[in-house]
Amino acid sequence: MSMDVRLDVDLGPLRLKNPIVTASGTFGYATEFEDFLDLERLGGVALKGLTLEPRAGNPPPRVAETPAGMLNAIGLENVGCRAFIDQKLPPLRALDTAVIANISGFSVEEYAEMAEMLSAAEGVDAIEINVSCPNIRTGGIAFGSRPEMISEITRAVRAAAPGMPLLVKMSPNVTDIVEMARAAVGGGADALSITNTFLAMAIDAETRRPVLGNLTGGLSGPAIKPLALRMVWQVHRAMPEVPICGMGGIMTGTDAIEFLLAGATAVAVGTASLITPSAAVDVLDGVTDHCRRHGVDNIRTLIGALET
């Protein structure tokens, strides 16, 4: 008989039934995946990044494949915060999984306005502040590489949505990820999502042109896993008390375990969901299997358990 493994974790005030969530931008508004997996098996779902107004996104091509990875420059195409609340949120309310709304603003005021709208809407369990989208010209990454902006945005969202669990999704395109992480925590973040995509480029030598319509894009997939692991480990070592949702190229349960060992409390499955729609539950099964094989009866004992 297989042993029971206790899987629930606390991402700050946000209790997850297990440490597996989906990564924003790779899971649509969740219902797209209902044919392929049971959403209620997941710890949570982080949904497509929202802006205050609807956005059409970038000109195509929007994706490029690279060895063990992909570049995307979608440009935050989304229905807008109001339509999200009215149309996308209702089918998720009845689900027994944490709903994490991801927000991007072009000003501090926009972040605060969205946070207020989302905390007033029934069914949002946490807000993830995106200060790290590499594919829009203003805001996004421009905010995510300036510690004082990260603090200010986080403080504004905290004030607009008191009591709402708050994650800040960090940009890896910075000199010192720990400095940015401190700024987010200083502004009132409950937890950190580490990491967003790496600013990158693909070039077609035949046509002498960039592959992406946006010229540059964000690199994700297994190619970035070692980079993301290092960043999670650095931040955890500097601030072991701050819960981290680790992400970057997680394809298997073993990948997820590696992030937990590096110090992540939860992990997000991203690009893998674009390849195998059931990837997030496959990762969960892999994590559970790993725990059984190693006699781990509580997943929390693996968090930060890296032996150095």
Does 245 participate in catalysis according to the annotation? no
Candidates 1, 2, 56, 175; binder of other proteins (CB under 8 A) is 56
Q: Kindly state whether residue 74 participates in binding other proteins, applying the rule CB under 8 A.
A: yes
Binder of other proteins out of 116, 274, 285, 306 (CB under 8 A): 274
For the bound state, the minimum distance from the C-beta of residue 121 to other proteins, rounded and expressed in Å, comes to: 22
Radius of gyration of the chain (CA): 18
Give, as ranges, the residues between 197 and 236 that touch other proteins (CB under 8 A): 221-222
Q: Which of 5, 10, 77, 108 binds other proteins (CB under 8 A)?
A: 77
- Rounded-to-integer distance, Cα 217 and Cα 202, Å: 8
Site membership for other proteins, residue 277 (CB under 8 A): yes
Query: Quick one: CA torsion of 21, 25, 31, 37, rounded to 10 degrees?
Result: -50
- What's the CA gap between 287 and 254, in Å, rounded? 7
Residue 91 is a binding residue for other proteins (CB under 8 A): no
Burial track 270-298 (b if 16+ CB lie within 10 A, e otherwise)? bbbbbeebbbbbbbbebbbebbeeeebee
Of 18, 24, 51, 72, the one binding other proteins (CB under 8 A) is: 72
**Residues 168, 40: Cα–Cα separation, whole Å:** 24
Query: Given its phi and psi angles, is residue 28 left (phi above 0), alpha (psi -120 to 50 degrees) or beta?
Result: left
- Confirm if 190 and 161 have CB atoms less than 8 A apart: no
CB of residue 78 vs other proteins: minimum separation in angstroms?
Answer: 8
Q: Give whichever of 7 and 50 is closer to other proteins, judged by the CB atom.
A: 50
Q: Least separation, in Å, of the C-beta of 60 and other proteins?
A: 5
Which of residues 135 and 151 has its CB atom nearest to other proteins in the complex?
135
Is residue 33 a contact point for other proteins (CB under 8 A)? yes
Q: What is the DSSP letter of 298?
A: B
Find tokens 């949505």 and name the residue. Answer: 161
Are 47 and 88 in contact by the 8 Å Cβ rule? The answer is yes
**Smallest separation (angstroms) from other proteins to the CB of 242:** 30
Instruction: Please tell me whether residue 6 adopts helix, strand or coil conformation.
Output: strand
Comparison of 25 and 243: residue with beta carbon closer to other proteins: 25
How many residues sit close enough to other proteins to count as binding (CB under 8 A)?
36
CB of 166 to other proteins, least distance (A): 25
Query: Which H or E run contains 15?
Result: strand 14-16
- For residue 243, the minimal CB distance to other proteins (Å) is 26
When asked if residue 134 is in the footprint of other proteins (CB under 8 A), the reply is no
For 167, half-sphere exposure in the C-beta direction (CA atoms, 13 angstrom radius) is 35
Both tokens of residue 87? 């149309």
59 binds other proteins (CB under 8 A): yes
Task: Report the residue number, 48 or 158, with the smaller CB distance to other proteins.
Answer: 48
Location of structure tokens 């580490």: 194
Does the footprint of other proteins cover residue 276 (CB under 8 A)? yes
Taking contact as CB under 8 A, which single stretch among the options 64-72, 143-151, 180-188, 259-267 is the one that binds other proteins?
64-72
Based on the number of CB atoms within 10 Å of its own CB, is 31 exposed (0-12), middle (13-18) or buried (19 or more)? middle
Residue closer to other proteins, measured from CB, 32 or 53: 32
Catalytic residues: 133
| Footprint of other proteins (CB under 8 A) | 25-28, 32-36, 48, 56-57, 59-65, 67-70, 72, 74, 77, 221-222, 251, 271, 273-278
